[in-house]
């Protein structure tokens, strides 16, 4: 049965929680104990499906979705951005409510909808949650909640993850990793971009497609209206050297990236990107997870909205 905006999750609806114990910045055992304590004390029926490693995530998600359909429950993803992405890919279009217990570093998706980073607080929000159908993006049919990209941005994410594995997960580590990445020379792409019946050709080092107003505002891209009108937002820049890239990084930190003359942004519902010959393999990133896809790349707004469980309390709902 289709889910409508503002519909509460019934108190008797069981929760099927997919916990990726190896993701995010928090200790998996502590997260598990917190979830069990809060939900048990509240008398809530739940099943915890724990993935000890990323390769187990798909099977645990499939089981959770099957059980949620059978028992009219909800699927909950507990983990970092990659975990939320993977579980939402399975849930999208199923008419099963989707909740999150975010464990990532930045938590743009959760914060956009008022879902706390703190696991205990997020669990308590699930106990009195309502449905909010939210827009998601697709890249070659795969979901992204926050952003998808190619070129320089995936390189930044790869290096950031390597630095975090070595020095720990923090925003300061992410910043130093970015400085190190931008020191290297980066490939320029010859792009053929088709959107709204128009064809453009240009060279760039990166394309980032955003689906999160909070992230766009943090870097200074004034395109919230485009998102509110049901679009995605593409951001690209002219090729430049290391010093100019450092300047862009600084502008992003000061929430002024949109002021840079090298940067352009625009809203769209569907965009096709061709790079070189058809079938060329391209490294892409979706919500922080790196993968390879074949050109052309099709970015589009998903036909279904994700029935996200959000806090009922309205004052929590705007960039918590």
Q: How many CB atoms lie within 10 A of CB 37?
A: 12
- Predicted confidence at residue 70, as pLDDT, reads 97
pLDDT digits (tens, 9 = 90+) for 97-148: 999 999 987 889 999 999 999 999 999 999 999 999 999 999 999 999 999 9
User: Token pair 């090298």 is at which residue?
Assistant: 262
Q: Please state the φ and ψ torsions of residue 65, each to the nearest 5 degrees.
A: -65, -40
- Predicted confidence at residue 67, as pLDDT, reads 98
Would you say residue 232 has pLDDT above 50?
yes
* Whole-Å CA distances, 221 to 73, 98, 253, 264, 267: 38, 29, 12, 9, 11
- Predicted confidence at residue 26, as pLDDT, reads 56
pLDDT digits (tens, 9 = 90+) for 66-84: 999 999 999 999 999 999 9
Q: What distance lies between CA 233 and its chain's CA centroid? A: 14
Q: What is the dihedral of CA 98, 99, 104, 107, to 10 degrees?
A: 90
Asked if residue 113 lies in contact with residue 134, where contact means CB atoms within 8 angstroms, the answer is yes
| CB-facing half-sphere around the CA of 188: CA atoms within 13 A | 9
Note if the pTM is more than 0.85.
Answer: yes
Would you say residue 319 has pLDDT above 50?
no
Asked if residue 76 lies in contact with residue 17, where contact means CB atoms within 8 angstroms, the answer is yes
Q: Please state the φ and ψ torsions of residue 60, each to the nearest 5 degrees.
A: -65, -40
- Predicted confidence at residue 279, as pLDDT, reads 74
Asked if residue 79 lies in contact with residue 73, where contact means CB atoms within 8 angstroms, the answer is no
Would you say residue 1 has pLDDT above 60?
no
- Predicted confidence at residue 22, as pLDDT, reads 73
Would you say residue 315 has pLDDT above 70?
no
Would you say residue 281 has pLDDT above 60?
yes
The torsion region of residue 140 among left (phi > 0), alpha (psi -120 to 50) and beta comes to left
pLDDT digits (tens, 9 = 90+) for 179-214: 777 777 667 888 899 998 889 988 998 999 999 999
């Amino acid at each position: 049965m289709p889910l409508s905006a503002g519909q509460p999750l019934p108190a008797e609806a069981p929760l099927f929680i997919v916990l990726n114990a190896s993701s995010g910045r928090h200790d998996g055992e502590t997260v598990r104990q917190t979830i069990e304590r809060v939900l048990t004390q509240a008398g809530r029926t739940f099943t915890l499906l724990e993935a000890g490693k990323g390769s187990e995530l798909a099977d645990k998600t499939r089981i959770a979705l099957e059980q949620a359909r059978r028992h009219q429950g909800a699927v909950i993803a507990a983990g970092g951005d990659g975990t939320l992405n993977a579980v939402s890919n399975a849930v999208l279009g199923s008419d099963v409510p989707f909740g999150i217990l975010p464990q990532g570093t930045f938590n743009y998706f959760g914060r956009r909808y008022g879902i706390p980073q703190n696991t205990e607080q997020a669990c308590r929000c699930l106990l009195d949650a309502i449905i909010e159908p939210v827009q998601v993006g697709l890249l070659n049919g795969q979901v992204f909640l926050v952003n998808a990209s190619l070129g320089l941005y995936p390189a930044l994410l790869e290096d950031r993850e390597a630095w975090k594995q070595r020095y720990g997960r923090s925003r300061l580590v992410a910043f130093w990793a970015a400085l190190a990445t931008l020191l290297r020379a980066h490939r320029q792409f010859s792009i053929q971009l088709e959107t709204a019946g128009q064809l453009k050709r240009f060279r760039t080092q990166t394309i980032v497609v955003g689906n999160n107003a909070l992230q766009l505002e943090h870097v200074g891209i004034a395109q919230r209206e485009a998102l509110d009108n049901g679009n995605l937002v593409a951001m690209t820049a002219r090729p430049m050297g290391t010093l100019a890239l450092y300047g862009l990084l600084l502008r992003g930190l000061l929430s002024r990236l949109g002021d840079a003359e090298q940067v352009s942004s625009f809203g769209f519902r569907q965009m096709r990107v061709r790079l070189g010959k058809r079938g060329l393999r391209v490294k892409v990133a979706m919500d922080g997870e790196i993968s390879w896809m074949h050109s052309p790349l099709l970015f589009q707004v998903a036909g279904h909205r994700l029935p996200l469980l959000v806090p009922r309390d309205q004052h929590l709902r705007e960039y918590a």
